[in-house]
Amino acid sequence: MRPKDERGSRWGQTLLEHSGTLPFFDRERESRRIEEALRCGESMMIFGPADIGKTALMLTVMRSLPRELSGKCIYIDGFKDLQDLLRNLLRALYQAASPDLFQQLKADHVASASFDRWLKMLPSSRLRGVLYRSVKTGDYRIILDHAPPLTHAMAKIIKELFWMRNTPVILVMRDDLKSRSTQFADFFYWGDRQCLTLGPLPQTSACELLEAHIEKHGLSRFDLEEFRGEVLLRSGCVPGAIVKMCALAADPRYQYGSRIKTKLVHIDYLMSGSRRPSSIGRKSR
C-alpha cells in the first residue's frame, strides 16, 4: 500500500527539474521570511511577475530545510479548479504516506492500483472530507505554486485547512492576480505580514546572474558589450528573463559572426509567452 517515495515525489520531481536552471541572487530577506513561515507553520501569499523567480526561491528554501521538515512539505505545481486542487492534494498526501489517508483507504478497501480511479469517482464534497481527515495528524505545510485566480470555494478550502485543520498554506501567485487575491487576504484574516512581493533584482545581483549564465552557455567568446547592456535593460533585472535570454543566445540562430542578435533574442523571449510584455525594461534604442 505504501508508495515508493515517502517524501512526496511531486515536489521532489519539480525540484530536480528546476535545480541549477534558475539560480537567484539577493533574496536573503525573502528566503528567511519563507523559511520562518515553514518552520513556524504560518500561512502566506507570495506574489511577483512572471520569471521573477518565485518557484526557484520557494524550491530552494524547501531544499535547505532539515529532512524532517522538508518531508512535511506538500508541493502542488499548479491546478485548474477545485476538484483538481483536491485531487492533487490527496495524491501528494498519498506520496507523503499520510497515515490518516492510508487509514481511510484501508477502510474503503482501496488498493494502490485503484487509488487514482477511486479519486476520480469521488465528488468534491467527499474529496474535501477525505482531505481534512488526511491532514489530521501529519503536521504538513501545503505550498500551492502557480495558483490560478481563487474562487470562493477554493478560498474556503484553504481557510479551512489552516484555521480549522492547523495546516498552513503558502500561495505562490502572479502579480496580475494580486488585486483579486488580496481581497481573499481579508477573508483569511491575513495582514501585510502574510503577503510577500518579489521585485526585480538590484543591478549588482542582476549582473552577477548574467555573468553566471554567460559562462554557463559559453557566450564569453562573443563580443558582449552591447549584449550585456541590452539584456539588463530589456529584462528589467527580472532573473528569469536574464536566464532565458542567455539560453536563447546560445542558439546559433541568434549569432552573427562575433556578435549576438540581442534584439531578436528579446523579441523571441517575449513571443515565447514566458512573460507578458510590460513597461519593465522595454525602452527602445
- Average the pLDDT over each of 56-65, 67-76, 169-178, 189-198 and give the range with the smallest value: 169-178
Question: Quick one: pLDDT at residue 279?
Answer: 36
Residue 23: pLDDT band with limits 50, 70, 90: low
E strands present in 119-249: 141-145, 169-174, 195-197
For residue 237, pLDDT over 70 is answered with yes
CATH superfamily of 9-197: P-loop containing nucleotide triphosphate hydrolases (3.40.50.300)
Question: Quick one: pLDDT at residue 8?
Answer: 40
Whole-prediction pTM: 0.84
Torsion of the alpha carbons at 161, 66, 71 and 171, rounded to the nearest 10? 40
Query: Tell me: the pLDDT tens digits for 174-219?
Result: 887 666 666 788 889 888 899 999 999 999 999 999 999 999 999 9
Question: Quick one: pLDDT at residue 180?
Answer: 65
Residue 59: pLDDT band with limits 50, 70, 90: very high
Question: Quick one: pLDDT at residue 181?
Answer: 66
Return d(Cα 57, Cα 285) in angstroms, integer: 32
Q: Domain limits of the chain?
A: 9-197, 203-271
Question: Quick one: pLDDT at residue 273?
Answer: 66
- List the one residue out of 3, 35, 44 whose CA is nearest residue 197: 44
Query: Tell me: the pLDDT tens digits for 113-156?
Result: 999 999 999 999 999 999 999 999 989 999 999 999 899 999 99
11: left (phi over 0), alpha (psi -120 to 50) or beta: alpha
Helix (H) / strand (E) containing 94: helix 82-95
E strands present in 43-189: 44-48, 73-77, 141-145, 169-174
For residue 18, pLDDT over 70 is answered with no
Cα dihedral 207, 275, 145, 155 sign: positive
Mean pLDDT of 11-29: 58
Number of neighbouring beta carbons within 10 Å of residue 158:
21
For residue 29, pLDDT over 90 is answered with yes
E strands present in 56-113: 73-77
For residue 28, pLDDT over 50 is answered with yes
For residue 105, pLDDT over 90 is answered with yes
Instruction: Tell me what the pLDDT averaged over the chain comes to.
Output: 87
Query: Tell me: the pLDDT tens digits for 210-224?
Result: 999 999 999 999 999
Mean pLDDT of 29-44: 95
Question: Quick one: pLDDT at residue 21?
Answer: 46
Question: Quick one: pLDDT at residue 35?
Answer: 96
Please indicate whether residue 174 or residue 102 has the higher confidence score (pLDDT).
102
Residue 282: pLDDT band with limits 50, 70, 90: very low
Mean pLDDT of 55-81: 93
Mean pLDDT of 239-249: 95
Question: Quick one: pLDDT at residue 174?
Answer: 86
